[in-house]
Amino acid sequence: MTGAPHRIRVEVETAYLDEQSDPREHRFVFAYTITIRNDGPTPARLLTRHWVITDANGKVQEVTGDGVVGEQPYLKPGQGFRYSSGTVIETPVGAMQGSYQMVTDDGSAFDAPIPPFRLAIPGVLH
């Protein structure tokens, strides 16, 4: 089924977790809440995830795994799935981006890109 547009929209909100962070130990903890929405005409299941997390020193962590928060959500057209997770980096500022590997009912696989987003302690960036 070529030509069917897959429109998976990904929205992100981030928060710095001061109580879990320890700047003296270069430990900066961030939470993020992701909303995945199927804006396309075809149902799809999220199978795996791939994250690229970069801190201000240029250190890159790659994270891959099955599903998100232990689930592989199935999104019918117009449906969304929201979850929260977190990451730890060594600097007060960093960035994340990646993709979700999705599959439709007929077995065709595609990547849903996760646009880059910034991790930053409030007040660090103007």
DSSP 8-44: EEEEEEEEE-GGG-BGGGTBEEEEEEEEEEE-SSS-E
The reply to whether 68 falls in a domain is yes
The reply to whether 1 falls in a domain is no
The reply to whether 2 falls in a domain is no
Indicate the number of domains in the chain.
1
Model-level pTM greater than 0.85?
yes
| pLDDT in the model for residue 1 | 40
| pLDDT in the model for residue 42 | 94
| pLDDT in the model for residue 19 | 97
| pLDDT in the model for residue 2 | 46
Contact 67, 85 (CB under 8 A): no
Alpha-carbon Rg of the chain, whole angstroms?
16
List the domain range (segments joined by +) for residue 26: 8-112
The reply to whether 121 falls in a domain is no
pLDDT in tens, the chain (126 residues): 444 568 999 999 999 999 999 999 999 999 999 999 999 999 999 999 999 999 999 999 999 999 999 999 999 999 999 999 999 999 999 999 999 999 999 999 999 999 999 999 998 655
| pLDDT in the model for residue 124 | 67
For position 60, which CATH number holds? 2.60.40.1470
